[in-house]
Every structure is written in structure tokens, then in C-alpha cells.
């Protein structure tokens, strides 16, 4: 009887943990995947709409939005851009593909761009998980000087990134791995 109970607990943990993580990722996507990475300095999100931009400008004082999307902007993205301009927020477009590795030289360029951008800085892509995760890891590690673990956490399932080859946008994690070798953690 005790063996059956242990088996049930083990199965509940093995099946429950991925289900909880999936539910967390789904809720984050529905809510815009907005996160305060470094309070007063660096924020990340999925594609904000115009209401989000107004809220972020008023609540967090966002001065720069870094757009990593390489897709043609839809009506929501254009409305968000207009709202940012209305609030005097600088917009920087740095298009990246979530399916292709970012060369180390481009990652260094991105680090410098984020370092020099007026703060507070909001970085976003479409869902705020993959491209934004890479940019956030680069910022946390190379710009803010956080630990390797803190930087790598930006590319984790907590934010919707699945760093498993074949299951997600693994090239973003691979890009980070190559970049971190050059900054010497």
C-alpha cells in the first residue's frame, strides 16, 4: 500500500510540475509577459499595446523601448509606437530572428546599444520569451554585471523560453552560450 502511495506521489510530481509550468507560461502570455528585471532600469515584455505603453510610461517612467521584432508591424504594434511617441519615449528597432543564432558580434552590439540607451529601458519582442530572453540575459550579464545564473534565468521557462533543443527557440539559448563565453563568466 505504501509503495502504491509513493508511486502516486511521484506521478503527481512528474506530471504536475510540467502542467504548473505550462499554466504559468500561458498566464504570462495572456498578461503580456511584463517583468521588472532591474527596478528603475530594465524591463521586459511581449508586444505591448497602446494601453500598456501608456501604463509603463506613467508607472515606470520608461524612456526607451527596444523592439526586437523582425516581423512587419501589425495595427497593435503601430498603435503602441504612436503611444510611445506621444509620451516622448525613444523607440529603437533592432530586428532579430528567434529562429536563427545571433552572432557574437551582433550580441556585443546589442549590449552596447542597451548600455547606452536612456533608462528606464523596456525590451520586447512578440511574446517576450525568446528574443527578449536573450536580450535580457545579455543585459543582466554584460551590462548590469549580474551572475551567470541570474543572466541565464532570463532564458528560462519562467518567462516562456524552453531551452531544450527541438522544443523551442533553442538558437536563442545557443546565442547566449556563445556570447557568455566571450564575456568570461
Q: Domain check: are 43 and 26 in the same one?
A: no
Residues 53 and 63 in one domain: yes
Whether residues 82 and 165 fall in one domain: yes
Cβ proximity of 143 and 149 under 8 Å: no
The SS3 assignment for 92 reads: strand
Give yes or no: residues 6 and 79 share one domain.
no
Closest by CA position to 139, among listed 164, 159, 112:
112
Packing angle of the helix pair 75-86, 50-60 (nearest 10 deg) = 30
The confidence score (pLDDT) of residue 185 equals 67
Shared-domain flag, residues 133 and 168? yes
My answer on whether 139 and 60 are in the same domain is yes
Count of domains forming the chain: 2
Per-residue pLDDT tens digits for 115-161: 999 999 999 999 999 999 999 999 999 999 999 999 999 999 999 98
To the nearest whole percent, how much of the chain has pLDDT over 70?
83
User: Cα separation of 49 and 146, whole Å?
Assistant: 30
173 and 145 housed in the same domain: yes
C-alpha to C-alpha distance for 108 and 6, rounded to whole angstroms: 50
Whole-prediction pTM: 0.84
Query: Which structural domain, as residue segments, surrounds residue 17?
Result: 1-31
| Structure confidence at residue 7 as a pLDDT band (50, 70, 90) | low
Amino acid at each position: 500500500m505504501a509503495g502504491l502511495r509513493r508511486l502516486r506521489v511521484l506521478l503527481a510530481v512528474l506530471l504536475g510540475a510540467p502542467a504548473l509550468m505550462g499554466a504559468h507560461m500561458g498566464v504570462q502570455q495572456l498578461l503580456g509577459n511584463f517583468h521588472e528585471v532591474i527596478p528603475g532600469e530594465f524591463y521586459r515584455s511581449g508586444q505591448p499595446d497602446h494601453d500598456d505603453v501608456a501604463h509603463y510610461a506613467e508607472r515606470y517612467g520608461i524612456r526607451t523601448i527596444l523592439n526586437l521584432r523582425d516581423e512587419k508591424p501589425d495595427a497593435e504594434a503601430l498603435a503602441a509606437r504612436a503611444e510611445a511617441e506621444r509620451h516622448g519615449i525613444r523607440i529603437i528597432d533592432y530586428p532579430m530572428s528567434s529562429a536563427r543564432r545571433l552572432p557574437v558580434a551582433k550580441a556585443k552590439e546589442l549590449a552596447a546599444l542597451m548600455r547606452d540607451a536612456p533608462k528606464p529601458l523596456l525590451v520586447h519582442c512578440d511574446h517576450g520569451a525568446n528574443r527578449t530572453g536573450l536580450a535580457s540575459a545579455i543585459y543582466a550579464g554584460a551590462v548590469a554585471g549580474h551572475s551567470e545564473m541570474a543572466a541565464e534565468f532570463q532564458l528560462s521557462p519562467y518567462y516562456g523560453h524552453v531551452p531544450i533543443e527541438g522544443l523551442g527557440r533553442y538558437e536563442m539559448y545557443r546565442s547566449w552560450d556563445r556570447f557568455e563565453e566571450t564575456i568570461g563568466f
